[in-house]
Amino acid sequence: MRIAAADVIVTSPSRNFVTLKITTDDGVVGWGDGTLNGRELAVSAYLAEHVVPLLIGRDAHAIEDTWQFLYRSAYWRRGPVTMAAIAAVDMALWDIKAKVAGLPLYQLLGGASRVGLHTYGHASGRDLPELFDSVRATLAEGHRSVRIQTAIPGVKAVYGVAAQAQASGERYDYEPAGRGPLPTEEDWDTGAYLRHLPTVFEAVRNEFGAELPLLHDGHHRMTPLQASRLGRSLEPYDLFWLEDCTPAENPQALEVVRRNTITPLAIGEVFNTVWDFQHLISNQLIDYVRAASTHFGGVSPLRKVMDFAAQYQIKSGFHGPTDVSPIGFAAQVHVGLSIHNFGIQEYMLHSDRTNRVFDQGMTFVDGYLHPSDRPGLGVDFDEQVAAEFPYQRAYLPFNRLPDGTMHDW
Ligand code: KDG
Ligand code: MG
């Protein structure tokens, strides 16, 4: 079975998505996700110019060899654009292989290891009443664990806090990337954050009790010492994890954090390869792997990093924002269902408009995600509906400190 055609489709139903369609010579179609938030056209050009011509005529079943070929033959390895492009190919080929087998992908990965995936949803608020309402709405959606993000006194805009109030029952639809010609500038004050956040977790614990698993995303903004202080000050509130507490480039930073706090640590949503996790996993500096199939080269390397992590009792916590398309999301739900060391799955609902383009078979019942038993990844892509929503330039925001210094967002 040979690859006869490969097409790149960029669509923007309520945000931009890069989708790869691979068609075999006997007419089987596989779908892959190569979305890179704010840099979508770089991936689509990489695919169209440098990958698609190499795919035509290749054996559609040779997934590992195609992955290694795309990775090694470029000479220039790694990086988010390259790895998102390789991810799209890897996913589309797994989709094809599973469709040909007539099985959902998780069956090819070893079968289900659980009934479904335990998720966490997002809650945020500008003040405590708004945050509590948001926690209630998140629980009402079916999540059993909740990520807590809060406004910080004196800071005008903070990552993870939806701009508008979220009354109960209202669909959480936070998307930080703004459509428009230029990115928006936000501000930051680490001191205010370190003082304020523990008070918020204390209030949430008092309101919702000891048992609700709570998470928090530090979004790469702290130094090792600041992150240590935060981890330690949150210990009384028993977090499920503290995510991305220090910038991802420096794995040694987590040695400092680890020495100073027993708050569990998660990192890796901006990592691209297994090697980015090598030091962190082999030195047991983290508890959860935050990679996303779409930004990590696809299903094949996600499975490999989790097998490596399993030797150290480190679990999955795959990145699941809406900028991972329903295709990329389904791919990692299949991985999560099949591996033994699954931890938790971040789950942000895609918009109704996105779901018109991507027909998702996935179900979320009694707090458990299941990718469905449709053959393949379980997601169909409607090219006609996609064509109604052309690409729109969008950028993630950035941060400056009050004196104008650039800071991690
Ligand atoms: O595109 C950026 C988002 O994917 C990121 O900000 C979301 O940190 C994130 C998370 O944990 O979901
Ligand atoms: Mg994050």
Q: Which mutation among 219, 245, 270, 349 tests ligand 1's pocket best, with the greatest number of atoms within 8 A of CB?
A: 219
Say if CB 320 and CB 343 are below 8 A apart: no
Residues designated as active site: 159, 219
Q: Which residue minimizes the CA distance to atom 5 of ligand 1?
A: 321
What are the beta bridge partners of residue 381? 358
Q: Which two tokens stand for residue 115?
A: 């009934």
Say if CB 220 and CB 246 are below 8 A apart: yes
Examine the pLDDT at 276 and tell me if it is beyond 60.
yes
The set of protein residues with a Cβ atom below 6 angstroms from ligand 1 is 37, 176, 217, 219, 269, 319, 321, 323, 346, 396
Say if CB 222 and CB 254 are below 8 A apart: no
Q: Which two tokens stand for residue 41?
A: 């056209």
Return the ligand number nearest the Cα of 267.
Answer: 2
pLDDT at site 169? 40
Question: Which atom of ligand 1 is nearest to 324's Cα?
Answer: 4
pLDDT at site 173? 55
pLDDT at site 390? 97
Question: Which residues crowd ion ligand 2, with CB under 5 Å?
Answer: 217, 269
pLDDT at site 106? 98
Q: Is 53 exposed, middle or buried (0-12, 13-18, 19+ CB in 10 A)?
A: exposed
Position 166 confidence tier, pLDDT thresholds 50, 70, 90:
very low
86-138, pLDDT tens digit by residue?
999 999 999 999 999 999 999 999 999 999 999 999 999 999 999 999 999 99
Where along the chain do its domains lie? 3-104, 117-373
Label the pairing between strands 265-267 and 288-289.
parallel
Q: Which two tokens stand for residue 214?
A: 């709570």
23-82, pLDDT tens digit by residue?
999 999 999 999 999 999 999 999 999 999 999 999 999 999 999 999 999 999 999 999
296-351, pLDDT tens digit by residue?
999 999 999 999 999 999 999 999 999 999 999 999 999 999 999 999 999 999 99
> Which alpha helices (DSSP H) does 156-269 contain, by range?
190-208, 224-234, 253-260
Per CATH, the number for 117-373 is 3.20.20.120
Kindly state the helix (H) or strand (E) to which residue 132 belongs, with its residue range.
Answer: helix 128-140
Contacts of 370 (CB under 8 A, 6+ apart): 115, 116, 117, 333, 337, 362, 363, 364
Examine the pLDDT at 164 and tell me if it is beyond 50.
no
If you average pLDDT over residues 271-279, what whole number do you get? 97
Kindly state the DSSP code that residue 276 receives in the 8-state scheme.
G
Question: Which atom of ligand 1 is nearest to 37's Cα?
Answer: 1
For the domain made up of 3-104, give the CATH fold: Enolase-like; domain 1 (3.30.390)
Examine the pLDDT at 163 and tell me if it is beyond 80.
no
* Closest among 383, 294, 358 to 40, alpha carbons compared: 294
Instruction: Please tell me the distance from the alpha carbon of residue 140 to that of residue 149, in angstroms, as a whole number.
Output: 18
For the chain, the helix, strand and coil percentages under 3-state DSSP, each to the nearest 5: 40, 20, 40
